[in-house]
Amino acid sequence: MGAVSDAAGRAPDLLPAADQALVRTVDGLDDAAWAEPSLLPGWTRAHVVAHLALNAEGLAGVLHGAHLGRPQPMYASPEARDDDIEELAGATPGEIRERFLASTATFSEALEAMHAGDWDGRFERTPGGPEFALVNVPLMRVREVEIHHADLDAGYTAADWPEGFRTLLLDSMTKRPYPAPFLVRPTDLAGTWAYGEAAGQAGATVPVVTGPSAAAGWWLTGRGSGEGLTSDTTELPEVETW
């Protein structure tokens, strides 16, 4: 993949197992369960699965365009993305499931078709919108799969995330901006992760958050209220929803 971060380089190896686990959960939903609330405000489980399907299609399109030398954005527009999710979420459970399964296969095929030279460059989320490095596409997808799998609230939680993904999530979330610096020291993983400007503050005192790595990852994405975590300042630092 050319020049690639350690987290992005590990992502492709984590995707097959993440996809398989998500497919099992989706296949296990009965018809009534699709209309029940997910953990995402205003979204049912049908919305979450619809989003995952459209996300896979969008990222597959990005990879296919890069492979052919014809860059394309992930979505036509923010409004089109939202409208497409709503439309698909309103379909029957069978239709959503079929679209989701097909999209998972489509993304896998697009990923496998990429050549080493295809990974150079960037792509737009929407025309004129934020740009992302192509090498980060597998990382983006595995985070979508694992985090939204837990958002389904269908028996799979952050505590079920494999260690490889928990480590990758803590690594990748260091790239986000934060209002103030802090450190995370998971009780079940070796190492300390620095967020905000904490990495550059040698000798400075910053809050230290401790607890299970799954709880830390869940909180870092703006989910929950930090259950299972403690801070040596008694209050957890501020983070934004991912």
The mean per-residue pLDDT over the stretch 152-156 comes to 98
Strand partners, 210: 185, 230
* Domains of the chain listed by start with CATH number: 6-156 (1.20.120.450), 166-231 (no CATH)
- What's the DSSP call for residue 44? B
Q: What is the pLDDT of residues 71-97, one digit of tens each?
A: 999 999 999 999 999 999 999 999 999
Q: What is the pLDDT of residues 156-201, one digit of tens each?
A: 999 999 999 999 999 999 999 999 999 999 999 999 999 997 655 5
Burial 192-213 (b: 16+ CB within 10 A, else e): ebebbebeeeeeeebbbbbbbb
pLDDT given at position 9? 84
Confidence category of residue 151, pLDDT binned at 50, 70, 90: very high
**Integer angstrom CA distances of residue 2 from 72, 117, 119, 123, 164:** 20, 8, 7, 16, 22
Provide the whole-model pTM.
Answer: 0.94
- Tell me what percent of the residues of the chain surpass a pLDDT of 70: 95
**Integer angstrom CA distances of residue 221 from 28, 100, 143, 151, 215:** 26, 24, 10, 11, 10
pLDDT given at position 19? 98
CB of 71 within 8 A of CB of 63?
no
